[in-house]
Amino acid sequence: MKLRLLTLVLISVAVVSRVSAQDDEARKIEEWLKGYDAAFVAKDLDKLATFYHPDVTIYEGAGVNNGWADYRDRHLGPELKAFEDLEFGHSNRRVQMLGDRAAYVISEYFIKARMKERQLDSIGRETLIVERQADGTWKIRHSHTSGRARPQK
């Protein structure tokens, strides 16, 4: 009986420890992604590159980019260059660990900017798949966003 109780206690401690470690890692990912928002607002492509895996896939609306270089050169870079008075951020971010090496992140985002005569004022949803690299850093492997114009009040 004592051996069974000890075994149950040890299993419980191991489960609580694993859950606690995953909660800690989820918080780290959430903090890491706050840096993404800052780099985006700063239009810092070099810093943004540190968030993406070289083989990332980006689904935005009906568009698809394969790889960081494609996304940087054919989408994000030209877009950031065109933005004036940029406001951008995420809210309601939730990180769900998928073991020790992967997680998915869901959130809401907003973006507001002027592009020549066009005014952009959108809200949307985002899903990210992030993967822990061999060096312990996290990288975005897949991003899927969908947005729409912010409803007028």
Instruction: Give the CATH number of the domain where residue 57 resides.
Output: 3.10.450.50
Q: What is the pTM of this model?
A: 0.84
User: How far lies 61's CA from each of 23, 64, 132, 145, in Å?
Assistant: 31, 8, 26, 6
Residues of the chain with pLDDT > 90, as a percent, come to: 79
Count of structural domains, the chain: 1
Question: What residues make up the domain containing 127?
Answer: 2-149
Q: Region 36-61: what's the mean pLDDT?
A: 97
Report which of 64, 39, 33, 44 is spatially closest to residue 139, judged by C-alpha positions.
Answer: 33
User: Using one digit for the tens of pLDDT, what is the confidence trace for 93-114?
Assistant: 999 999 999 999 999 999 999 9
- Using DSSP's 3-state secondary structure scheme, residue 45 falls into helix
CB-based contacts of 38-41 (< 8 A; 24+ apart in sequence): 40/80, 40/86, 40/88, 41/86, 41/87, 41/88, 41/89
